[in-house]
Amino acid sequence: MAKENTQTVALDTSDDSKVAGHFKRNRFAYFFGALVIAAGTGIRIYLDTMGFTVGTDYYSEEFQKYWMPVLYGELILLSSFTVILSVYCWMTRETDASSISKELELSRYWKLLGIFTVMGIWAGCVASNAVESDAAWHQVTIRDTDFTPTHIVIFYFALPFLTAMLIPAFIWTHTRIPAYMNKISVPFLAVVCGILMIMPNYGFNEWGHTFFYAEELFAAPIHYGFVFLGWSLFFLVPLAMQLIGNMARLIAETTADDYQPAA
């Protein structure tokens, strides 16, 4: 990236109007945010349409035809998304922190915030759509197998997708931003691990359901695993404080009157 360009991005010294500048600056968040909203809306419409019509019996041909391919598709898509992006971020890692200019570093922080914005938009979609769809589903249908339409949406797509974004973002941050290079941010790691652990925790949930087979008390202790893992979001505050401290320093330095950009 050319230095002048970097400086424009990092410090927003472009000549664009206020609105145009805003969209240009945040095009990453707008583009990918729109993309995840579109994906979420699509899968929601599919759930609404195909949930009660062909989704109530795992052992039916219809279920195998209309829901299982969705599950396999999700698993393939998300695992390849995570692996390819993570491997790419790792393989293209930078090791020399001193070669990264302050402007470039700051622009990468803005990009990280863009990534977090996309994840946040997805988190909002999951919260408003997916979480209680499973509640509503289980309270009106008889528990069948783990592969109910709402599980296929929330457990095998909605929440893993958050992990699928978090892991590459974690690697990217730790290989691109000098403050994070050659060390590991504890709160960031806690957030990633907590959300990641939700997937193995399905095992606890389903194992628990083999005891009281089909009743759906949402406040049941077998669900507390998810609650506990959700607490990993508490670590967002210290993570935000890390970002605040680092970005404040960079902004203060690069906007100072006597600041000389590195040659």
What is the footprint of other proteins within residues 101-160 (CB under 8 A)?
113, 116-117, 119-121, 123-129, 131-133, 135-145
Q: How far is the CB of 85 from other proteins (least distance, A)?
A: 20
Q: How far is the CB of 202 from other proteins (least distance, A)?
A: 13
Q: Judged by CB under 8 A, does residue 163 bind other proteins?
A: no
Q: Judged by CB under 8 A, does residue 214 bind other proteins?
A: yes
State which of residues 20, 23, 31, 41 lies at the interface with other proteins (CB under 8 A): 41
Closest to 44 in 3D by CA, of 117, 121, 122, 133: 133
Within 8 A by CB and 6+ apart from 251, the residues are 11, 106
Q: Judged by CB under 8 A, does residue 208 bind other proteins?
A: no
Q: Judged by CB under 8 A, does residue 166 bind other proteins?
A: no
Q: Which residue type is seen at 135?
A: A
- Distance between CA atoms of residues 113 and 119, nearest Å: 10
State which of residues 51, 160, 168, 178 lies at the interface with other proteins (CB under 8 A): 51
Q: Judged by CB under 8 A, does residue 252 bind other proteins?
A: yes
From the list 70-78, 83-91, 92-100, 224-232, the region that binds other proteins by CB under 8 A is: 224-232
State which of residues 14, 24, 28, 57 lies at the interface with other proteins (CB under 8 A): 57
State which of residues 4, 16, 94, 215 lies at the interface with other proteins (CB under 8 A): 215
**Segment 64-93, which members bind other proteins (CB under 8 A)?**
none
Angle formed at CA 36 by CA 32 and CA 39, multiple of 5 degrees: 135
Angle between helix 18-25 and 27-54 (nearest 10): 60
Q: How far is the CB of 110 from other proteins (least distance, A)?
A: 8
257 DSSP assignment:
T
Helix (H) or strand (E) holding 96: none
Asked if residues 124 and 131 have their Cβ atoms less than 8 Å apart, the reply is no
Q: Judged by CB under 8 A, does residue 17 bind other proteins?
A: no
Residue corresponding to tokens 């505050």: 237
Closest to 109 in 3D by CA, of 258, 234, 233, 245: 245
The smaller minimum CB distance to other proteins, of residues 97 and 233, is found at 233
